[in-house]
Structure 1
Amino acid sequence: MYVHAYAPFGLEGIIIRVEADIRRGIPGIDISGLADGAVREARERVRAAIRNGGFSFPQDRILVNLAPAGIRKDGPELDLPIAIAILAAAGHIPPPEGLMVLGELELSGNLRPVRGVVAATAAGLAHGLKGFIVPLENQAEAEVLAPDCSAAVASLGEAIQALKHWYQCGTFLDLSAVPAPIAPKKSSSADTPTTTSVGTVGDFADVYGQDRYKRALEIAAAGGHNLLVFGPPGGGKTLLARRIPSIMPPLLPQEALEIRRLYSLAGRFEAGFLQGGANLAPPFRSPHHGASLEGLLGGGKTVRPGEISLAHFGVLFMDEAPEFRLSILKALREPLEDGVITIARAEGSVQLPAEFQLVLAANPCPCGRLGQITGDGGSLCFCSDDEIHRHWQRLGSALLDRIELRVPVLPAPQNWVGELTASLPQVSKNNSTSVALRVLRAVAIQRERFQGLSCRRNARMSPSLVEKFCRLSLDTAQILESEIAHRGLSNRALQGVLKVARTIADLEGRSDIHADDVAEALSFRCAGEDPYDVLSLASQSSVSGIPRR
C-alpha cells in the first residue's frame, strides 16, 4: 500500500512514494529510505496521532519505505502520508490511489502547515496525480494550481473523511463546508511580498527635491538596472529607495507563480500574497547588514531560498551596503550576472532563481559626513583619504562594475521650501502615479521587444542582444568610444551604458537611441568612480569652497 508525498529540494523538489507493509512480529515501526531526524521521529508522532484520532494502531511490525531510496528525506511533511499509508495497509481506509498527501502531525492528530505546497502541486500535476490533501493553513497554496482537486483539512480525521469521499465519488468534500483557514502568523512587509499601492509604501512626491535621484530610480525600475546611491545622512537615500515598489509594474502571471513557489519553499507564504491577482507587485527585500551568508544566498541542511531568491523579479535593497560582510558582497557578483544561485550539497547541486535588481545605499565615508558643511563653509568630515578609500574598497571594484546607475545625493534638496510652496496647489510631476505610468509604458515596450526570448528587461540583455537593439548613429558611437577610452571603463561598463541608454529611449517612447540618451547614461555610470563625487556635487550648489581632505 502506498501514497504519494513530496520532499522540497531546490525549486522543483521530489515526489516521494510512501509504502507501508504490516507483518507479524514485535510491534514497532521501521522506516527505510534514507530518513533523517525529523522523519525518524515521525514514528512516535504518527503512533500518537492515530490513537488520539480515534483509530486503533496495528499491533504488528510495520515497515515504511520512502522511495526513491537513494535520496535523503528530511522534514515533517511526511507525517500525514506515513499515517495514511499505515491505516490503508491495515485496511482501515481505502487505498489513496492517485493522491498526494502532505502535512505535519501533532500528537492530538491535528495538522500543522508545511512548506513547498505550491511546488508540490505543480510536481503532482505533472506526474499525473488527480488530487491533493493538505493542511488547512496551506489551502491558499494548494488552490494556486489545484483549486478544484485539493482538500484542506485540519486533522487526521478530516483527511480520512476527505479520502473516503474521494474513493466513493471521485471528488473531495465541498470546501465551503470546511471552516475558514486559521490565519497564519503575520510577518513584516519585508518578509512577504504583497500587492502594493502608493498609499502603503509612500509616494515620490513625499520627498522634495532629489530630482536626479528620482530620475535614476525611474530608469532603474523601467529597465531593471542596478543602482548605487551614496551621500551623507539625511539626504533621502533610504526614504526614496523604499518607494521603488510604488513605481514598479505588476508581475506577469507566470512570474507571480514562480515567486509564489519560492516563498512557499521558504515557508514564508501567506494567503494575502494571492489577493493581488493580476496586480501582484514585485517583491521588495531589505535585509539587515548583519544577515548571514546563508540567509542572503540560501542554503541550510534542507536548501531554502535566501534573500536574493526571495527578491526574484523584484528589488534587493541593501542599506548601509559597506557594513555587510565582505563574503556577502563578493558572493553577489555571480547571481547578478547569471540570474541564478547554485548551492552545492553532497546530494547534488541546487539552482534557485535570483533575477533581482540590486539597490545599494551607502555613506560616502566612515563617519558619514563627507559632503556636509559648516556655516563658514568648512567640512564636517575628518576622515583621512586612506579611511575613505578603505570604506569604498569594501564594496569592491568587481561589484561596482555591475552597477549601471550611481547617484550622489546631498543631505538637503536645493530650494525645497520654494518647491513645497509651489507644489501645494498642484500635484507634483514626480509623484509615484505619473512615474509608474511612464515605467509601465517602457516595460510594455520591452516585453514586446523580447517576446519569445529568455531576456525580460533591458538590464538582462546579452551582448548579442545589445548589438541588435542598441544601435547608435556614427557620431554618437564615436562620442561614446571617446568617453569610454577617456574614463578607462570596462567592456561591461560599455554594455551597461548602452542598456541604460536603451531604457531612457524606451521611457521617451523612441525606437532610436539619441546622443542625449547616451550622455545621460554616461553621467549616471561615471558617478561614484571617485568617493569625493558628493563633494563635486556640493560645489555646484549655492555653497562653494568645501575643502577636499
Structure 2
Amino acid sequence: MSSGAKVARARAVTLIGLDAHAITVEAEVTQGLPGFSVLGASGSAGREAADRVRAALAAAGCPVGARKVLTSLAPAELPKVGARFDLALAVAVLARLEVLPPAALEGVVLLGELALDGAVRSVPGVLPSLAALESGDRLLVADDDAAEAAVSGGSAEIVPISDLGEAVAVLRGRSTPRRAPEPTAIVPPPVPDLADVQGQHEARRALEVAAAGGHHLLFVGPPGCGKSMLAERLPGLLPSLDADAALQLAAIRSVAGLLDPGRAAVLDTRPPFRAPHHGTTQAALLGGGSGIARPGEVSLAHRGALLVDELLEWPRRLLDGLREPLQEGVVRVARSRATVRYPAAFQLIAATNPCPCGSADGCRCSVQDLQRYRQRLSGPLVDRLDLAPAVRRLAADDVLTDHPAERSAEVAERVAAARRTAEERSATANADAPIALLRASCGTGARQGLAQAVDAGVLTGRGHDRALRVARTLADLDGRDRMDRADVDEALGHRLALLAVEGADR
C-alpha cells in the first residue's frame, strides 16, 4: 500500500421500510493502534460487522494484521441495521489495500453478509434494494439471493457470488461472472374449493359479491356453521395479480425474510391470504420489531385478503389498529430510529359468533356479557364493513344432500367478468372507485332506497357510500349499467347481521 493512497469507496444499499437508499462505504487503513471500526452503523451492527469482515478477509488470504482499519457508512443519519453491508465493507478495505484497483468498483453495488470463512450469505430485502441502483450497474449478491434479484427484470447485471474470494476474482477480471439462475414456473398448491360448502346460499352470495368488488366482509353465526370454511375459499375466487402488484408483494415478502433463498421462480401472481391468530401481537399484525420495523400481517396481505377469525375475541386496540390501513391502504410504524410506511391495501374477511356462548338458539349470555363482548368492535370499524350476511346453523338436508354445490371455478368466472367491468369504468375495483363516478350510474329507485336507509338511521354517511359500492357490484355481476332498487335492497340485506354485533359507540 503506497503512502499516498486515497480513501477507498464501495457502494451498498440500505432499506427503510420498502424505500431503498444508496450507501457509500468508505475505508481507510493506517498504521496505528490495531483495530477495526465501523462508523455510521446502528446499534451493535458495527461491532459485529467489524469482527465478521476481519475474519473473512483473513480467510480470503488478505489479513489486515496489526493496522488500524477505519470504515464508514454514509450518509450517517440514515438508519443502517443488519449484516447487508459486510461484503461492501470487505471490498472497500481490499481496494484500500490495493488488492483491487479503484476502477474495479465503478458501477458496482454489493449486498451480502460474510461468514467467518469468507462465504457470502443471503440477506433480506434484496429485491426492493434494486430501486437504488442506476442503469447498467452490476450487483454482486449471495448465490441464494441471485434469483430474487433477477426476478425484477431490471437493467442491472446480477452476479451471484459464493465467497469473498470469488468476488475479488470477478472484480479483478480473473473470473467470468456467473449468470443468475433462470426463472422456473411456480406450481401453486391447490386452494380449497367452494363446492365443499353445502347450503349457506346467502353467505355464498355475499362471498361472491365481496370477491367481485373487493369489499370487506363479516360472517356472523354460531360455531360449526361454516364461517371459516367459507372465508378460506375466497382465494379461489380472486383474480390473479398483475405484474406490478406481484412485484410489490414480492418486495414486502423479501423485507420480511419470507422468500425462499436460492429458489429461482417467477413472480407469484396469487393474491395472498393471511390468517393471524387472535392472540397475535400488535407488532406482528401491523408491523414492528426492534430497529427498523418489519412488515406485519396487514402488509403481507397487501393486494389480497386478511382473515380475522373470532373477531370479537380480538383485543379492541388491535381491531382499532386496522382502521388506518382499511381507510388509507397503508400502515405507518414509528420507531425511534425511523418511521416506516408499508403498503397494506387488503380485503378484510372476518368471522364471529353472535355472542360469547355462541348459541344461535337459547343464548345463555347476560346483558352485561353481551355488552362487553360487542364493545370490542368500534363503530368506525363497523362502518368499514360492506357485507355482513348471517350464517345459520346447517339443516340436515344441507348436510345430507347429494346435489353438488357450485365450484369455485364457476364463481370465479363471474367475479372476473364483474372486475373487468369495474376496471373499464374506473380502473379499479368498486370498493376503491371514486364515489362520484359510482353515483352517476345510480338509478332513481336506488337513490330513494339509500336515502330512506339514511333517514331511518340504518346507514351513516360512510355506510351509505359503502352500500352504494356493493349495489354497484351487484349490478356488475348482473351485467347492468345502472343500479336499481333491487340492488340497494340486497346490499342493505347483506348488512343486517351487523346489528348483532353493533354494540359500538357511533
When normalised by structure 1's length, the TM-score is 0.84
- Among 126, 146, 152, the residue aligned to 1:145: 152
Task: Give the Cα separation in 2 of the matches to 1:289 and 1:326.
Answer: 11
Displacement of 1:88: 1.4
Question: What residue is the counterpart of 1:505 in the other structure?
Answer: 475
Question: What residue is the counterpart of 2:168 in the other structure?
Answer: 160
Displacement of 1:438: 0.9
- Among 171, 175, 178, the residue aligned to 1:173: 178
- Among 191, 198, 203, the residue aligned to 1:208: 198
Runs of 4+ more than 6 Å apart: 271-274
When residues 24 and 353 of structure 1 are mapped into structure 2, their CA distance, relative to the original with a 3 A threshold, is same
Task: Give the Cα separation in 1 of the matches to 2:277 and 2:249.
Answer: 21
Question: What residue is the counterpart of 1:383 in the other structure?
Answer: 365
- Among 243, 247, 260, the residue aligned to 2:250: 260
- Among 432, 439, 444, the residue aligned to 2:415: 439
Displacement of 1:480: 2.2
Does residue 394 (structure 1) correspond to residue 376 (structure 2)? The answer is: yes
Question: What residue is the counterpart of 2:5 in the other structure?
Answer: none
- What secondary structure sits across from 2:473 in the alignment? helix
- What secondary structure sits across from 2:370 in the alignment? helix
Does residue 421 (structure 1) correspond to residue 430 (structure 2)? The answer is: no
CA distances 1:319-350 after superposition (whole Å, capped 9, x unpaired) = 11112222111111111111111222344432
When residues 209 and 500 of structure 1 are mapped into structure 2, their CA distance, relative to the original with a 3 A threshold, is same
- What is the letter of the counterpart of residue 452 of structure 2? S
Does residue 220 (structure 1) correspond to residue 210 (structure 2)? The answer is: yes
When residues 226 and 31 of structure 1 are mapped into structure 2, their CA distance, relative to the original with a 3 A threshold, is same
Displacement of 1:208: 0.8
Further displaced range: 383-392 or 283-292: 383-392
Question: What residue is the counterpart of 1:247 in the other structure?
Answer: 237
Question: What residue is the counterpart of 1:118 in the other structure?
Answer: 127
Task: Give the Cα separation in 1 of the matches to 2:372 and 2:227.
Answer: 22
Displacement of 1:309: 0.8
- What is the letter of the counterpart of residue 83 of structure 1? A
Task: Give the Cα separation in 1 of the matches to 2:390 and 2:187.
Answer: 31
**Paired residues for 1:66-465 under 5 Å:** 66-95=73-102, 96-124=105-133, 127-128=134-135, 130-146=137-153, 149-165=157-173, 172-175=177-180, 196=188, 200-270=190-260, 275=265, 277=267, 280-300=269-289, 301-369=291-359, 371-372=360-361, 379=362, 381-413=363-395, 415-417=397-399, 420-423=401-404, 428=405, 430-451=406-427, 456-465=428-437
When residues 492 and 74 of structure 1 are mapped into structure 2, their CA distance, relative to the original with a 3 A threshold, is same
Question: What residue is the counterpart of 1:39 in the other structure?
Answer: 46
- What secondary structure sits across from 1:337 in the alignment? helix
- Contact 2:146 2:262 (C-alpha < 8 Å) held by counterparts: no
Task: Give the Cα separation in 1 of the matches to 2:311 and 2:388.
Answer: 14
Task: Give the Cα separation in 1 of the matches to 2:171 and 2:301.
Answer: 38
CA distances 1:258-285 after superposition (whole Å, capped 9, x unpaired) = 11111111111126997465x7111111
Displacement of 1:196: 4.5
Task: Give the Cα separation in 1 of the matches to 2:254 and 2:281.
Answer: 21
Task: Give the Cα separation in 1 of the matches to 2:265 and 2:415.
Answer: 23
- Contact 1:196 1:246 (C-alpha < 8 Å) held by counterparts: no
Question: What residue is the counterpart of 1:61 in the other structure?
Answer: 68
Task: Give the Cα separation in 2 of the matches to 1:366 and 1:386.
Answer: 11
- Contact 1:195 1:280 (C-alpha < 8 Å) held by counterparts: no
- What is the letter of the counterpart of residue 64 of structure 1? T
Equivalent residue pairs, number: 490
Displacement of 1:524: 0.8
Task: Give the Cα separation in 2 of the matches to 1:388 and 1:143.
Answer: 54
Displacement of 1:131: 1.0
Task: Give the Cα separation in 2 of the matches to 1:464 and 1:518.
Answer: 17
- Contact 1:39 1:78 (C-alpha < 8 Å) held by counterparts: no
Question: What residue is the counterpart of 2:3 in the other structure?
Answer: none
Task: Give the Cα separation in 1 of the matches to 2:261 and 2:464.
Answer: 44
Question: What residue is the counterpart of 2:4 in the other structure?
Answer: none
CA distances 1:429-451 after superposition (whole Å, capped 9, x unpaired) = x2100011111111112222223
- What is the letter of the counterpart of residue 350 of structure 2? L
Task: Give the Cα separation in 2 of the matches to 1:348 and 1:137.
Answer: 29
Aligned-pair identity in percent equals: 39
Displacement of 1:58: 5.0
Task: Give the Cα separation in 2 of the matches to 1:4 and 1:497.
Answer: 52
- What secondary structure sits across from 2:228 in the alignment? helix
**Which stretches in structure 1 are left out of the alignment for 5+ residues?**
182-193, 373-378, 534-549
- Contact 2:49 2:86 (C-alpha < 8 Å) held by counterparts: yes
Question: What residue is the counterpart of 1:542 in the other structure?
Answer: none
- What secondary structure sits across from 2:206 in the alignment? helix
Task: Give the Cα separation in 1 of the matches to 2:188 and 2:312.
Answer: 29
CA RMSD between the two structures: 2.4
When normalised by structure 2's length, the TM-score is 0.91
- Contact 1:121 1:146 (C-alpha < 8 Å) held by counterparts: no
When residues 271 and 459 of structure 1 are mapped into structure 2, their CA distance, relative to the original with a 3 A threshold, is farther
Question: What residue is the counterpart of 1:18 in the other structure?
Answer: 25
When residues 349 and 25 of structure 1 are mapped into structure 2, their CA distance, relative to the original with a 3 A threshold, is same
- What secondary structure sits across from 1:249 in the alignment? coil
Displacement of 1:310: 0.8
- What is the letter of the counterpart of residue 460 of structure 1? D
- What secondary structure sits across from 1:73 in the alignment? coil
Task: Give the Cα separation in 2 of the matches to 1:237 and 1:340.
Answer: 27
- Contact 1:115 1:265 (C-alpha < 8 Å) held by counterparts: yes
Task: Give the Cα separation in 1 of the matches to 2:396 and 2:439.
Answer: 40
Does residue 467 (structure 1) correspond to residue 467 (structure 2)? The answer is: no
